[in-house]
A and B are shown apart, each in its own frame.
Chain A
């Protein structure tokens, strides 16, 4: 009778140990999974930052004064106003 209670106790302890070990494995897997997610997110941030800079570069090059001046005069037929044409609004 005493032997059997020992077996039960050992078995329970072994089960607890097993559960703890499985929990450790599971949490480690979760950490790795979150680590992958973080890594992908950071890569995405990096890529998007790069794309933003690329777009900013294109925007700046497209709106450079020389290009705007060329577009205004050659494409739209605009010209700089004469001093007497300029009205100042207070």
Chain B
């Protein structure tokens, strides 16, 4: 019995020793190696790529954003035997042809794309078919909700979310964000276990532009209409804020849809407003005038003989569109006389003229934050002969980009100060905080502010009755501008017999400039003059832009409505009487004064405003609908009494 116990005890002891030895082997000897093996099975390394950041206009409207998408793929070897029966349904689900789907299924490769960047709806339809060998993974798709609007400026991103053109390219490293690598624990079914806690992957940054979506729409719509109506080859509109040189709109026709960038040739995706220089023609005369007036080589009233339309310079003859005799310099600009400009150019001299042209930014890049900018063409004064100076005086032999010319005019509208144009206002973090901001950059003073003011006055004559740009005039708003009609250079280096660029550049309001608008129509077939083709486009765009920005004729923005704290309801039908200004008794502006004047109650805003205008009363309003309350407050700026109206929607109009 004892022997048996001994044998059994020994066997158990040996067994325990074996177990203990394995325990020591696993936990001590092979501990590190086994831990690594276990980790490699449980832990998986992932790269988180943030969704590409959005591009916004100046008011926060989305211009480009990334939306979720799924890339569907096929493992042909794992497809079920009866896959052919599902081809029609699959083709319909992914909006592809049956042939394309069959080609993917018959591929000898182990992995074939079925559709990249499929919409969530397409992916859901494919998943509903529940087919082996077809799977997907999450990705992102770039979406431009406004289609062709500002396409050349925005650029586009490729299928791998890399910016290839425009803002998408220049600000790619902000928009793309940084990919982060994380290690996650996975269970046997491949599900993620965030045992170490969860950190949300970093989000990409967004870019806010100086562009105004509404202005861009006005510009592009009018440009498109005009290019179609005149059967022109192309057209460009640039709108700048002359106080900051911020680009408010940059429209071009033809354009493309950045949602499908490959549907057009590469050429159609160019940005001619900054990449394609052209001879500016008569719009250049304003820059000549700025230089001549600033140097005092001419005065607006000085008489210049315009040679009755023919002016011989060496072996060349300069022509005017209409023969003129004696004209004042102001009239030379108003009637756009080439001969008058040529004579002033000769007085100015090529070195001085060039110095001013370079001051206005010609012959060099403006430095805008967009790719592929051209410096234009401005030869050295040493290479200018007399005829070069003469022709450059009316815009031939010099090439500028539309942005350069708009910037030069913006300089005149900005007291003669040249600044760097820019299109990105700021870069924003996911929390809305500003990460990087572009501020207006003053470069240099080109002409004295008095000269700039004088120029604007002379440019107003161009838009006045009898000027070449009269079609650009806007009732109630002072407009300064200049027309241009330039011959295009042909492939042989000479001038095209028929190719013209009709242009107009205007500044509104001329007395307090807020907008500089350049319109250039390339090869219009129904006319050729800037005043005839481009000026009307300017007129429509400027009218709508001023209304959109709330800029009145004198350049002021209407003051924001004062919100009435507690409206004092009045009994309708009191005698209307203008409130008497009583500055001595004026209460602080935040305190409502009792009303003893007319009643606007029940009126629509239009009726109330008309009534106030007819009686010379000042009103401000808040809300929408019909007037439900009114009070009198002193205007904080002028201390004039103002009726503050509160409007509210109502199903029935008040009596």
- Say whether A4 faces chain B, with CB atoms less than 8 Å apart: no
- Say whether A76 faces chain B, with CB atoms less than 8 Å apart: no
| Cβ-closest chain B residue relative to A65 | B217
- Say whether B191 faces chain A, with CB atoms less than 8 Å apart: yes
Binary contact readout B302-317 vs A (1 if CB under 8 angstroms, 0 otherwise): 0000000000000000
Contacts A53-B67, A65-B214 known; A89 to B605 CB distance under 8 Å?
yes
A43 to chain B: which residues have CB within 8 Å? 192
**Distance from B58 Cβ to chain A, minimum over Cβ atoms (Å):** 14
* In contact, A32 and B620 (Cβ under 8 angstroms): no
- A36–B187 Cα distance when bound, in Å, is 10
Binary contact readout A13-53 vs B (1 if CB under 8 angstroms, 0 otherwise): 00000000000000000011011101101110100011101
- A65–B249 Cα distance when bound, in Å, is 14
- A41–B130 Cα distance when bound, in Å, is 26
* In contact, A90 and B642 (Cβ under 8 angstroms): yes
Contacts A42-B200, A83-B475 known; A90 to B217 CB distance under 8 Å?
no
A65 to chain B: which residues have CB within 8 Å? 146, 149, 213-214, 217
**Distance from A47 Cβ to chain B, minimum over Cβ atoms (Å):** 8
B609 to chain A: which residues have CB within 8 Å? 87-89
* In contact, A35 and B185 (Cβ under 8 angstroms): yes
* In contact, A60 and B475 (Cβ under 8 angstroms): no
Binary contact readout B180-202 vs A (1 if CB under 8 angstroms, 0 otherwise): 00000101000111110110100
**Distance from B113 Cβ to chain A, minimum over Cβ atoms (Å):** 21
Binary contact readout A48-76 vs B (1 if CB under 8 angstroms, 0 otherwise): 01110110110011001110010000000
- Say whether B649 faces chain A, with CB atoms less than 8 Å apart: no
* In contact, A56 and B62 (Cβ under 8 angstroms): yes
* In contact, B552 and A66 (Cβ under 8 angstroms): no
The binding surface of chain A is classed by DSSP as helix
* In contact, B195 and A60 (Cβ under 8 angstroms): no
- A11–B180 Cα distance when bound, in Å, is 51
Binary contact readout B587-627 vs A (1 if CB under 8 angstroms, 0 otherwise): 00000000000000000011001100100001111000000
**Distance from A10 Cβ to chain B, minimum over Cβ atoms (Å):** 16
* In contact, B67 and A64 (Cβ under 8 angstroms): no
- Say whether B558 faces chain A, with CB atoms less than 8 Å apart: yes
* In contact, A83 and B476 (Cβ under 8 angstroms): yes
A64 to chain B: which residues have CB within 8 Å? 145-147, 149
Interface centre among B194, B474, B559, B606 (most CB of A within 10 A): B194
**Distance from A31 Cβ to chain B, minimum over Cβ atoms (Å):** 5
The binding surface of chain B is classed by DSSP as mixed
* In contact, B68 and A66 (Cβ under 8 angstroms): no
B66 to chain A: which residues have CB within 8 Å? 53
- Say whether B111 faces chain A, with CB atoms less than 8 Å apart: no
Interface centre among B547, B610, B642 (most CB of A within 10 A): B547
| Cβ-closest chain A residue relative to B141 | A57
**Distance from B290 Cβ to chain A, minimum over Cβ atoms (Å):** 31
**Distance from B184 Cβ to chain A, minimum over Cβ atoms (Å):** 8
- Say whether A1 faces chain B, with CB atoms less than 8 Å apart: no
Other-chain residue from A39, A80, A90 in contact with B191 (beta carbon distance below 8 A): A39
B147 to chain A: which residues have CB within 8 Å? 64, 66
Contacts A35-B194, A53-B68, A54-B120 known; A90 to B475 CB distance under 8 Å?
no
- A35–B146 Cα distance when bound, in Å, is 42
Interface size grouping (class) on chain B: 35 or more
- Say whether B543 faces chain A, with CB atoms less than 8 Å apart: yes
* In contact, B149 and A90 (Cβ under 8 angstroms): no
Other-chain residue from A36, A66, A80 in contact with B193 (beta carbon distance below 8 A): A36
Other-chain residue from A53, A60, A69, A89 in contact with B620 (beta carbon distance below 8 A): A89
Other-chain residue from A38, A53, A61 in contact with B198 (beta carbon distance below 8 A): A38
- Say whether B51 faces chain A, with CB atoms less than 8 Å apart: yes
* In contact, B191 and A36 (Cβ under 8 angstroms): yes
- Say whether A86 faces chain B, with CB atoms less than 8 Å apart: yes
Contacts A36-B191, A38-B197, A39-B192 known; A88 to B610 CB distance under 8 Å?
no
A87 to chain B: which residues have CB within 8 Å? 605-606, 609-610, 613
Contacts A38-B197, A60-B145 known; A90 to B559 CB distance under 8 Å?
yes
- A86–B297 Cα distance when bound, in Å, is 45
- A56–B65 Cα distance when bound, in Å, is 9
* In contact, A50 and B68 (Cβ under 8 angstroms): yes
A32 to chain B: which residues have CB within 8 Å? 187, 193, 195
**Distance from B70 Cβ to chain A, minimum over Cβ atoms (Å):** 10
* In contact, A45 and B200 (Cβ under 8 angstroms): yes
- Say whether B544 faces chain A, with CB atoms less than 8 Å apart: yes
Interface centre among A34, A65, A86 (most CB of B within 10 A): A65
**Distance from A18 Cβ to chain B, minimum over Cβ atoms (Å):** 17
Interface centre among A31, A41, A84 (most CB of B within 10 A): A31
- Say whether B561 faces chain A, with CB atoms less than 8 Å apart: yes
- Say whether B384 faces chain A, with CB atoms less than 8 Å apart: no
Other-chain residue from A34, A45, A60 in contact with B146 (beta carbon distance below 8 A): A60
B61 to chain A: which residues have CB within 8 Å? 60
Contacts A36-B191, A80-B544 known; A42 to B610 CB distance under 8 Å?
no
**Distance from B147 Cβ to chain A, minimum over Cβ atoms (Å):** 7
B62 to chain A: which residues have CB within 8 Å? 56-57, 60
* In contact, A89 and B621 (Cβ under 8 angstroms): yes
**Distance from B71 Cβ to chain A, minimum over Cβ atoms (Å):** 14
**Distance from A14 Cβ to chain B, minimum over Cβ atoms (Å):** 15
* In contact, B221 and A66 (Cβ under 8 angstroms): yes
B324 to chain A: which residues have CB within 8 Å? none
| Cβ-closest chain A residue relative to B213 | A65
- Say whether B143 faces chain A, with CB atoms less than 8 Å apart: yes
A61 to chain B: which residues have CB within 8 Å? 145-146
A38 to chain B: which residues have CB within 8 Å? 194, 197-198
Can you spell out 14 A-B residue pairs with CB atoms less than 8 angstroms apart? Answer: A32-B187, A32-B195, A35-B193, A39-B198, A42-B200, A50-B120, A53-B67, A54-B67, A57-B67, A57-B145, A64-B146, A66-B149, A69-B221, A88-B558
> Which 7 pairs, one residue from A and one from B, show the smallest C-beta to C-beta distance?
A60-B145, A50-B68, A65-B217, A35-B193, A38-B194, A35-B195, A61-B145
A→B interface (CB under 8 Å):
31-32, 34-36, 38-39, 41-43, 45, 49-51, 53-54, 56-57, 60-61, 64-66, 69, 80, 83-84, 86-90
Known: A60-B62, A60-B145. 8 other contacts (CB 8 A): A31-B195, A45-B200, A60-B65, A65-B214, A83-B475, A83-B543, A89-B605, A90-B620
